[in-house]
Chain A
Amino acid sequence: MRMRRGGRSRRSAQAMTPAGALLTYLVLGGWALIVLFPLFWILTTSFKLPVHVYDGPVFIPYVDFTPSGHAWRYIFVDLANDTLRPYMNTVVVALTSSVLALALGTAAGYGLLRFRYEPRLGVVGLFLSAMALAAAVISLGVPWQIALVAALALFVLARQSIGRRFVRAVGNDDISFWMISQRILPPVAVVIPIYVMFQRFGLLDTRLAVIITYTAINLPIAVWLMRDYFRNISVELEESAAIDGASPYRIFRSIVLPLATPGLAATFLLVLVFSWNEYLLALFLTSANAQTLPLLIAAQNATRGPQWWYMSVLILIMITPVILMAIALERYIAKGLLVGALKG
């Protein structure tokens, strides 16, 4: 609301000189051209024959060259299932992982704001050492189920016996910082162990593996943005609901979530775009079955040289859904992201 009011009265506050207006339109129009021209070029390339591409540039369909549907026919008729499978993979993987990341991140972001957590440092250390121990024995060849259960048992035992002696505790801010800082991690630093892990579980080249991984890498963003969004929602409604005896889950579902719709929409779109377009992790974790669209596009760079026309068709069918979604959610994106950025 505030934003729109601001926009409208700004118009009355400042009037532009004709020269200023002209310059403004020139700059904005110029950048619009820079943005749209590559998209126009992909669109026309998808209707070109190889000869049109290799004999130098032709620009306008029906004037410079006769458009041909050969690339579209190849992708949709000849390849059919080989296009459809990666497409469905991308849709399923991106949607599922975005929903999961949003669900977990929203819950965690809300928890970090409304509850006080103070895990003792020593207990955290114990837990991590137990996990490290599990990792070590798994790499020595012990089956992972046994190692994990043993490590957890060891942790519970240690916590019961010496856990009370630790005094120093970490607070909510430390946990938030730790979660958000996980986004700093370059995927390439963790991808090989993740690869080995999924190999052990027999999950390589499955959608499940990609979904779990994408959920994990997008979780920090979801926590960050949603926590900051919740901070701007007044706590009074929740408190009165709690006095009326509503459970924390009920309050979360029927009061907090509806109020956070713009934040949810923006976060969802951002996370969706990240998983929809992700390349590096998919390259490691998938081969034929779970292949996603970015890999299929890259695969058009065949030994005969790049197949520009096929690539263009694939890029077009890949970007259309996200672009439509972006247009639909455009208002929310700005609002949702801004709150996160203001509160850092």
Chain B
Amino acid sequence: MPAAWIDRQAKSLFLFPAVLLLVAFSIFPLLVSVYLSLVRFQLVPGGFKFTFVGLANYRKLILGIEREHFLGLPADPTPLIWALGGIVATVLLVFTLRGVARAGSLGGLVSRAAFALIAVTLAWLSIRTLAANGRPGTLVTTMVYVFGGITVQYWLGLLLAYLTSQHILGRRFFRIVFLLPMMITPVGIAYTFRILADLGKGPFAPLWRMLGLAEVSWAGDPWGARIVVMIGDVWQWTPFMFIVMLAALEAQPLELLEAAMVDGASRWQTFWRVTWPQLLPVTSTLILIRMIEGFKIIDLPNVLTNGGPGTATESLTLHAFIAWRTLDIGGSAAVAYALLFLVTFSALSYISLVHRRLAGVV
């Protein structure tokens, strides 16, 4: 009875093709990548060879010649830096100690402590390299892109979605126009913004000339260049926040809003007390999705600034790509693993600390 047999296999047939493809394209390459990050690639007459070098590729990133590129140049700690670092450390210490007090299980405690330790290290690194005399490496630059970008995209998307959800003419027009940037290839956006941001020949050149800024070059200033990259990113991804939040706003039941109005709440109060709390689950998922995707940024800095000035706008993916292009395959794999660690750490911490509470589900 082949037909009955096939029916009984339905359970496996629905799931297995997807599982097999994912195993072949994620687990398998990940294992090979571990190996690549532990070797040095060399061209030799008639081909190439791999020499096993242990953790040397990682050591190079954290202690060796790539340190400034990857971690950045920390500023000497001033009182302000000590104060900021102290605040972060205290918050995380309190967080860990509260974990001890609740003490669900030993495993939970250990993971809390590990989280606090990693978080404090990353925060300390960020504070010191982002300070006036410091220079952030690719690690911190990537975090700036992700967290800075998400913050702007979220609030902008929320504002636009709220306004569009009001009783206004041309809702459909705004909905469609606001959606467009998401559809455009990041490479295209990068080139477009390069034209637009050209102070001498771009469309805003007359304006810059009037302001006497025509000779200033954003491309030569680390923060100028980073901000241009972030503007491109915000332009492209605000639509994603916008479209989902608009749908969420339109799906909200009106009874609560009406009740608030009857009670005499102002529009401002109604929004913050009634509307916004209901948006939190959607908000949380959107932030998670953007966080996961945002860490992969490469097209924009690669095209807009080529990672420059110096390495100021280089993201981790671009760093790994440049290392690969110079045939430093082991170094490239090590950077890629550092990125994987950073994304996994951020996503898992976010899911267990924030997302579970806001969305109530995994």
Q: Provide the bound-state CA to CA distance between A191 and B295, in Å.
A: 16
- Collect the chain A residues with CB atoms within 8 Å of residue B359's CB: 344
User: Is A182's CB under 8 angstroms from B14's CB?
Assistant: no
Contact A188 B336 (CB under 8 A): yes
Instruction: Answer yes or no: A217 CB below 8 A from chain B CBs.
Output: yes
Known: A56-B201, A344-B281. A297 touches B183 (CB 8 A): no
Secondary structure type dominating chain B contacts: helix
> In the complex, A297→B191 CA distance in Å?
9
In the complex, what's the smallest C-beta–C-beta distance from A133 to chain B, in angstroms?
Answer: 10
Which residues of A sit under 8 angstroms from B244, Cβ to Cβ? 334, 337-338, 341
Chain A residues touching B, majority SS:
helix
Q: Which of chain B's residues has its CB closest to A128's CB?
A: B27
19 CB contacts below 8 A, A to B, read: A6-B250, A10-B167, A13-B254, A16-B167, A24-B163, A41-B196, A59-B203, A117-B15, A131-B23, A131-B27, A188-B316, A192-B329, A193-B30, A220-B22, A273-B182, A297-B191, A319-B183, A335-B247, A338-B247
Chain A hits for B185, CB < 8 A: 276-277, 279, 293-294, 297, 315, 318-319
Give 9 closest A-B pairs by Cβ, nearest first.
Answer: A111-B14, A216-B25, A193-B29, A108-B18, A193-B32, A334-B247, A190-B29, A248-B10, A277-B185
Give the nearest-CB partner of B248 in chain A.
A338
Selected contact of A27 from candidates B26, B159, B362, CB within 8 Å: B159
**How far, in whole Å, are A247 and B3 apart by their CA atoms in the complex?**
9
A323: which of B23, B180, B193 is its contact (CB, 8 Å)?
B180
B168-205 near A? 1/0 per residue, CB < 8 Å: 10000111111111111111110111111000111111
Q: State whether B18 touches A27 (Cβ < 8 A).
A: no
A7 within 8 A of B: yes
Docked pose: A270 CA to B7 CA in angstroms: 32
Within 8 A of B (CB), among A125-170: 128, 131-132, 135, 139
Q: Are the CB atoms of A342 and B29 closer together than 8 Å?
A: no
Q: Do the beta carbons of A306 and B167 come within 8 Å of each other? A: no
| A327 neighbours in B (Cβ, 8 Å) | 176
A58 CB to closest chain B CB (Å) equals 9
Q: Which residue of A lies closest to B194 (CB)?
A: A306
Let me know if B251 is at the binding interface, CB within 8 A: yes
- Enumerate chain B residues within 8 angstroms of A306, measured Cβ to Cβ: 191, 194
Closest to A247 in B: B7
CA distance A37 to B336 in the complex (A): 36
CA distance A306 to B28 in the complex (A): 39
| A111, A132, A213: residue with the most chain B Cβ atoms closer than 10 Å | A111
User: Within 8 Å CB of B288, what residues of A?
Assistant: 344
Tell me whether B292 is interfacial, beta carbon within 8 Å.
Answer: yes
B326 at interface, CB cutoff 8 A: no
When the two chains form their complex, are residues A298 and B187 in contact, meaning their CB atoms are under 8 A apart?
yes
For residue A80, CB closer than 8 A to chain B, the reply is: no
